[in-house]
Amino acid sequence: MNGFTTALEVAAQLTEARLQAEIAALPESNVRAAMAYAARGGKKLRGFLVLETARLHNIPAEMAVQAAAAIEAIHAYSLVHDDLPAMDDDDLRRGQPTVHVKWDEATAILVGDALQSLAFGLLARGDAAPTPDARLALIASMAQAAGGGGMVLGQALDIAAETASAPLSLDAITALQAGKTGALIEWSACAGARMAGADPSHLANYARALGLAFQIADDILDVEGDAALAGKRLNKDQTAGKATFVSELGLEGAKMRACDLITQAQDALQTYGDDAQQLREAAQFVIARSN
């Protein structure tokens, strides 16, 4: 295991423990059980980005872990809602039955709603950042990233693309993905600077390139996964004829674009010097990952 893999595992354990403790503190209910289920597992890459950028700005992990848990709660909510029959209609998530399959659709909707509320509650805590201004900056930027100008907008554009008369252009796919997956990744990477009251612009540049590379890697994984399974697992975007980075750039073109973006992401970290090594490795991981 390299330094990054260990750091990712440590961050995942810290973040998951904090999130599960918050959920366990809620009154007993079906929704609480399903929230705990939905928050379990996954790479916790967004939580890692929060903890690592906080470390870069000398914010202690005990403080930053609240924002790490908050962004993973938002991410988990987005996955639960995305899996619903009204959206992507998926039966499996992280190798397990999706929440609406294991419980029901009403529970899945409430789980997403409650995870979102939990996230904002965590950021509003007195010990979520060193100053009230920093806490407000985290809350306001999360509202922007998750809402109708960020992730929700990206998801809406994605749904609209399914019934559009023509496939999306490369620019349109890029804008869609900047909202759908990019906005939360950018929030995560900027969180450390925001906690410290520092300028997040270098981290935002890193995260924009990283977020796009992450999505291109996802498209590549879908195609290569499908090829490996000899067509047993059908990718919905491909079967629906939806434009993806791979359909627009070709497999090799998409791989080259992802590599260029990783170089761009790493270049954006120059100002942090050697201290940003884990973030550079995170960028490599995003395109080398297998899930």
Residue ranges binding ligand GRG (CB under 6 A): 42-43, 45, 75, 78-79, 81-82, 94, 151-152, 155, 180-181, 218
Q: Tokens 């993905």 appear where? A: 177
- Collapsing DSSP to helix, strand or coil, 174 comes out as helix
Q: Which is nearer to ligand GRG, 76 or 196 (CB)?
A: 76
Q: What are 96's strand-pairing partners?
A: 93
**Closest separation in Å from C-beta 84 to ligand GRG:** 8
Q: CA-CA distances (angstroms) from residue 67 to 50, 219, 256?
A: 7, 28, 33
Collapsing DSSP states into helix, strand and coil, what is residue 131? coil
Do residues 254 and 220 lie in contact, with contact meaning Cβ atoms separated by under 8 Å? Answer: yes
Q: Which is closer to ligand GRG, CB of 134 or CB of 177?
A: 177
Handedness of CA 164, 231, 92, 70 (dihedral sign): negative
CB of 176 to ligand GRG, least distance (A): 10
Closest CA to 200 of 291, 136, 268: 268
- How far apart are alpha carbons 185 and 208 in whole angstroms? 8
Q: How far is the CB of 274 from ligand GRG (least distance, A)?
A: 27
260 contact partners, CB below 8 Å, separation of at least 6: none
- Closer of 79 and 223 to ligand GRG (Cβ): 79
Q: How far is CA 71 from CA 112, 145, 146, in A?
A: 13, 10, 9
Q: Minimum Å distance from CB 72 to ligand GRG?
A: 8
- If you search the block for the tokens 């060193």, which residue do you land on? 130
- Measured from the CB atom, is 134 or 248 closer to ligand GRG? 248
Query: Minimum CB separation from ligand GRG for residue 201, in Å?
Result: 24
Is residue 110 within 8 A of residue 31, CB to CB? The reply is yes
- Give the other-Cβ count within 10 Å of 47's Cβ: 31
In angstroms, give the least distance from the CB of 43 to ligand GRG.
Answer: 4
The nearer residue to ligand GRG, 45 or 243, going by C-beta atoms, is: 45
Closer of 92 and 197 to ligand GRG (Cβ): 92
- By beta carbon distance, the residue nearest ligand GRG is 42
Asked whether the beta carbons of 185 and 72 are under 8 A apart, the reply is no
Nearer to ligand GRG (CB atom), residue 15 or residue 266: 15
Number of CB atoms found within 10 A of residue 140's CB: 12
Between CA 28 and CA 22 the distance in angstroms is: 12
Question: What is the closest distance, in whole angstroms, from the C-beta atom of residue 273 to ligand GRG in the complex?
Answer: 28
* Residue 260 Cβ vs ligand GRG, minimum distance, rounded to whole Å: 20
Q: Which is nearer to ligand GRG, 75 or 280 (CB)?
A: 75
